[in-house]
Amino acid sequence: MSTIRRGFTCLFLSLFFQGALLCPPPALAGGLKRPVEHKLSIELKPHLGTLTAEDALTLYPGKWNEPSFVFLLHGDFKVDPVEIPHQGDWKISATKTRDGSKPINRIEIFKPTNNNWPDFIQFKFRYRGPYRDLQETGEQNSVENAHTVFLSQNSLFYPVIETGNASPLIIFEMQTTTPPGWEVVSEGKRISHIDNGGRISTLWKCDDPMEEIHLITDRYHEFRGRWEDIDLQVFLRSKDPELAQRFIETAKLYIPFYQRLIGSYPFVKFAVVENSEQTGYGMPSFTLLGSQVIRFPFILHTSYPHEILHNWWGNGAFVKTEEGNWSEGLTTYLADHLMQDLKGKGDRYRFQELMKYKNYVSKKNDFPLNEFISRTDMTTQAIGYGKLVMVFHMLRKRIGEKVFLDALHDFYFEHIFKRAGYQNLQEAMEAHSRQDLSTFFRQWISSKGAPQITLGKVSSQKTKTGFQLDFEVLQNQNGSTFDLDLPYIIWSENNAAPLIKMATITQSNQNFSISLSSAPRAILLDPWNEVFRQLNEGEVPPSISQSFGDSQSLIVIEENGEQALQGAYKYIASTLNGKKDTEADWLEQGDHSVWLLGHHFQKNQPLLKWLETKGIIVKQDIIRIDGQPYSLKEHSVALTVPHPKSPRHSISWILLHSAEAAKGLARKLPHYGKYGYLVFKGDQPTNVAKGAWPANPKGRLHRFSNGPLPLPEQKPLVDFRPGDPLE
């Protein structure tokens, strides 16, 4: 019963859908003919952490070939005998079991001997007791100390069918009763909301098949808006109408944008729900954002579009997890990447994803995309998000923008409220492109690894008609050779516009010849970072992610620093992967990255000299970046430089201005992985300056002469933007 949280859906698509699904119902777990129907009535007492519930559950057994159904409820509930309003000798076995530390009520219901399952059957469950809040803090949920209550399928707050694989899809009604001020949010449409002063009664209904039911409750202030026939809701833990309005107005930009890009928004509402915990979850028809995250102004056009788009991918068309989770990579490609693509920065975004793969993925921890389920660390993010972004980009380039989008459109409408996998994606892409993509999907989805591409021999010679450029493309990785569509660009002496070509690579060593009208100035492979590949040594600029990615890094704390900061540096050291080393040895060991924690190190002269070449001057109490001074009594700093003994490793130097800043800095630094220098102000560190060192196309570029090499701008995936008038 693992749950995919989509980081970091419910009436039918149009009037045509009302009353019946456009396509036959999806195949359900165990052969069930239709989704399981829940009719829940729940009284919540958040201050006690308890509930009293009743569920009239209806099944349509269809081809269910087992003699029984097994239902699971949380083990802390007291469960009444199950009522079965059907004739026959039904047998019920109720036992207590455990899933790790979680107690479980296991209720098995056997059909009458020698009888077939009826066309439909209803079971009535009644139960009460402490619920399993996935965010339980261990403290009572009082008025003074309230946290958001978060119940899901993993809470077992409603009867869940045990199937051994994917749970059956469900539809539901959920009537809740809560104390004054406590509002409930769930999937679907809110049918009624009655506040009589003594308690609040709310009815949520979802007629579209869902993978699970969520129940979120807190002392919310609700704000409402509307775009066409979609309700826009914001539930905040404090009264902040300006913040709510910003989310409502921004939703009016991105929902129509993605409708135009993919197809109709699949639900009747979209809600932004504040969480006391710092989350960035996407559920069908709403997103659950942490109380700090929700107030960051930049998320309106970064994380927020990502969560909105999940209503199409992952929460609209579901993931067939046995084939891997495709939804995170596709959502990232059409949200985070596309927003940069529209600004002309798609190539930079893709390079950062290649950097993450280089810094966090090794032979030991690499795995194929069809084994990715969810993000658990930077390695899984580099593969399940970053690699898949690159794979979708390569697929788009292979079959063309229009074909790519048409295939996604049909894939979406074919699999709305169904589970889909990579095989379904491949079929949609092949149907529209009329290409056999089996090799593409096999090598990028079912296999691990990445090609490492370099230029080999390059030469130019004059001919009767101009010049001939000969060059060699090498794949230097160990293991299998990849089939690639490799773009390259050639600049010539007398041509203002460079020549852009595509090479089909199928061998580890391949030669090409190009006829030119004038002498070549330079050739560059993969100029816009459009091929998923292992970056070459020297191609990667030093960044803090390089240090984070080295699990064997050395950690050095200054030995004679301020006593007040020693504990703070030790705290930061405890959050890092690596082993502690002494000041005497760190510079001599070039086989690992290094963390320097403190202001004063006797052997840091190579670092200071390298930083000076980049316009950064570090003195006793001040740091200057391109002339801008920052006091080291008010600012904490992170600087990353190449290791003098081994440029493929890095040295990250952390300077704290106060012990109080340590926890906040340790929490934030992993989110700034691509940067070479970072400056934070205050004890609750706020970033005030950041920068990345320039990349070097080492191994991909060959020059015949000096001079600028301008890159033509690339067209984005689409020529419209959020907020553009609808056609």
The pLDDT-based confidence of 371 (bands split at 50, 70, 90) is: very high
Distance of alpha carbon 40 from alpha carbon 177, whole angstroms: 11
Indicate if the pLDDT at residue 13 is higher than 50: no
550 and 636 in a single domain? The answer is yes
Does any domain span residue 185?
Answer: yes
412 and 485 inside one domain: no
Angle among Cα 75, 136, 666 to the nearest 5 degrees reads 135
- For residue 561, give its domain range: 544-691
- Please answer whether residues 288 and 217 qualify as being in contact, where contact means their C-beta atoms are separated by less than 8 angstroms: no
Mean pLDDT of 697-711: 95
* pTM exceeds 0.75 for this model: yes
Greatest mean pLDDT among 103-112, 164-173, 602-611 lies in 103-112
List the one residue out of 206, 109, 99 whose CA is nearest residue 159: 109
Looking at the 3D structure of the chain, how many domains does it have? 4
pLDDT tens sequence across 48-65? 999 999 999 999 998 888
DSSP 159-173: -EE--SSSPPPEEEE
Q: Token pair for residue 64?
A: 């269910």
The rounded mean pLDDT for the chain is 91
Q: Is 269 contained in some domain?
A: no
- Dist. CA 138–CA 323, nearest whole Å: 37
137-146, 165-174, 519-528: range with lowest mean pLDDT: 137-146
Q: End of a domain among 202, 219, 236?
A: 219
240 part of a folded domain: no
Q: Which of 304-313, 435-444, 538-547 has the lowest mean pLDDT?
A: 538-547
Whether residue 713 is contained in a domain is answered as no
- Pair (157, 188) in one structural domain: yes
Q: Which of 230-239, 455-464, 641-650 has the lowest mean pLDDT?
A: 641-650
- Measured CA to CA, the distance from residue 366 to residue 328 in angstroms comes to 18
74 within domain boundaries:
yes
Are 601 and 469 in the same domain? Answer: no
The residue out of 201, 219, 237 marking a domain boundary is 219
Q: Of 204, 219, 234, which marks where a domain is finished?
A: 219
Specify whether 344 is located in the same domain as 465. no
The pLDDT of residue 5 is 52
Q: What is the pLDDT of residues 148-194, one digit of tens each?
A: 999 999 999 999 999 877 789 999 999 999 999 999 999 999 999 99
Beta carbons of 665 and 654 less than 8 angstroms apart = yes
Strands 170-178 and 200-210: antiparallel
- The reported pLDDT for the residue numbered 413 is 98
CA distances (Å), origin 689, targets 340, 471, 611, 634? 21, 42, 15, 13
Q: Kindly state whether residue 161 falls inside one of the protein's structural domains.
A: yes
If DSSP codes are grouped into helix, strand and coil, which group holds residue 598? coil
494 shares its domain with 386: no
CA 656 to chain centre: 31
CATH number at residue 328: 1.10.390.10
Q: Is 101 contained in some domain?
A: yes
Three-class SS state of 189: strand
Q: What is the CATH number of the domain that holds 603?
A: 3.30.379
Q: Are residues 623 and 658 part of one domain?
A: yes
Instruction: Please report which confidence band the pLDDT of residue 353 belongs to, taking 50, 70 and 90 as the band edges.
Output: very high
Do 439 and 480 belong together in one domain?
Answer: no
Please state which of the ranges 42-46, 120-124, 157-161, 588-592 shows the lowest mean pLDDT: 588-592
In the chain, the percentage of residues whose pLDDT exceeds 70 is 93
Do 43 and 149 fall into the same domain? Answer: yes
Q: What is the pLDDT of residue 140?
A: 46
Tell whether 531 is covered by a domain. no
Pair (159, 41) in one structural domain: yes
Looking up residue 111, the CATH number of its domain turns out to be: 2.60.40.1730
Instruction: Clarify whether residues 508 and 418 are in a common domain.
Output: no
**Is 389 in the same domain as 514?**
no
Q: Is the pLDDT of residue 10 over 70?
A: no
Pair 541, 676: CB distance under 8 Å: yes
